[in-house]
Amino acid sequence: MPENIEDEVLLFSNERREPMAIVCAVPYLRDRDLRRAEAGDTAEQRHQKVTMGITEHYNAVLQAALAKCDDAQKLPMIATSHLLTTGGQRIDGDGVRDLYVGTLAHLSAAAFPQRFDFVALGHLHIPQVVGQTSRLRYCGAPIPMGFGEATKPKEVVLVEWQGLSSTVTSIPIPVFQKLQRIEGDMDAIEQAIIPLLENDYTGHQILPELKERIGQLTENSAVEVLRIRNRQVFNQVMQRIEALEELSDLDAKEVFRRRLDAQNVPDEQRAELFECHEEIRRTILETDTQAE
C-alpha cells in the first residue's frame, strides 16, 4: 500500500487528452497495512479489523478518484483487487493460497462501493462473477494451475463502455497444450500415455521403479510427464510409518498439525498456534514475493 493513496488512482485520456476512464489500481493489501494488532484480540476481532480496513481503503481510494478531475462522475471507474471473496469457487489442487490468517478477509460484494463500474478481481483461478453481478469478476488464470483445473474453461474478459453503460464479454482461451491425468494399473498407464499428463498409479502391484519405467515409455517422444504418484508404494509406507510421507503430498497446515500431534499439544492451545503459524507463513511468502 503506498504512503499516498492518490498514487493508486490513474486517469486515462484519449489522443486529444480528453479524460476517458479512471482506474483505481489497488494492490494486494497486507494484513499489517490494514490493522494494528493488539494483545488479547480474538480471531473474530482480527477478522473484523482486516475486513474493515479493506472496506475503508476502497472508500478512501474512491474519494481520491472522484477528486481526480472535474468530470470524474461522468467517467467509467474501474478498480482492481487482489483478495478472496465470500462464496468464491475453488477446487482441489488449484494452487490458491489463503491471503490472510486462516479465513480472514473473505469480502462480500457489499464491500466494494457501487460507484465502481467494474472491479477486476485477482487471486482465484476459476473464472467467476461475485454476488451475481457482472461488475465484480475474476477472469481467472489463463492456463490451468493444477490438474484439478484441467477440464475447466479459461477466458479473458472484454469490457466496453458507452458513457457509463458497459457490456461484458467473455472470450474463451484456446487450449494449445492439453493437460490430462490418467490413472490405473501399469497396463492402463502404458496404453493411455499422451502428451502432457499426470500419472496416478493405482494398481495393486508394488512398483518401486515406476518412475524409471514411465521414463522409458516416454523416452525420445514429445511426452512430458509432470508428476507421478505411486499410490501403492505410498500406501504401504503409510501403513509402516506415517513420517515417511512426501512433503509434496501434504500442505503446510497438515505438516504443522502433525508436528503438534508429535508434541502432544493440547487441543485448547491449537487454534491460536495455527493462526500464528499461518501469519508467519504469510509473512515469509510476502517477503519472497517482494524479493522476486
CA-angle at 97, arms to 94 and 100, nearest 5°: 155
Q: What is the pLDDT of residue 100?
A: 44
Number of domains in the chain: 2
Residues 50 and 144 grouped into a single domain = yes
Together in a domain, 283 and 162? no
CATH assignment of the domain containing 34:
3.60.21.10
What is the CA angle 97-277-122, rounded to 5? Answer: 20
Q: What gap in Å lies between CA 229 and CA 202, rounded to an integer?
A: 9
Domain co-membership, 213 together with 265: yes
- Residues 16, 126 within the same domain: yes
Indicate whether 204 and 162 sit together in one domain.
no
Based on the fold, state whether residues 149 and 186 are members of the same structural domain. no
238 with 189, same domain: the answer is yes
Distance (Å, rounded) from C-alpha 144 to C-alpha 96? 12
* Residue after which a domain boundary falls, among 138, 172, 206: 172
Judge if 106 and 158 occupy the same domain.
yes
Q: Which of 117, 145, 172 represents a domain boundary (last residue)?
A: 172
Structural domain of residue 50, as residue ranges? 5-172
Same domain, 156 and 184: no
Same domain for 185 and 251, yes or no, is: yes
Residues 127 and 231 in one domain: no
The whole-number pLDDT of residue 237 equals 46
Contact between 144 and 177 (Cβ < 8 Å): no
- Residue 202 is predicted with a pLDDT of 60
Q: Are residues 26 and 77 in the same domain?
A: yes
Q: What is the pLDDT of residue 232?
A: 56
Ordered mean pLDDT values, 10 residues apiece, the chain (292 residues):
92 93 92 69 76 90 93 92 76 55 61 92 88 86 82 90 89 84 77 56 61 75 69 51 52 81 80 87 74 58
Of 141, 172, 203, the residue at which a domain comes to its end is: 172
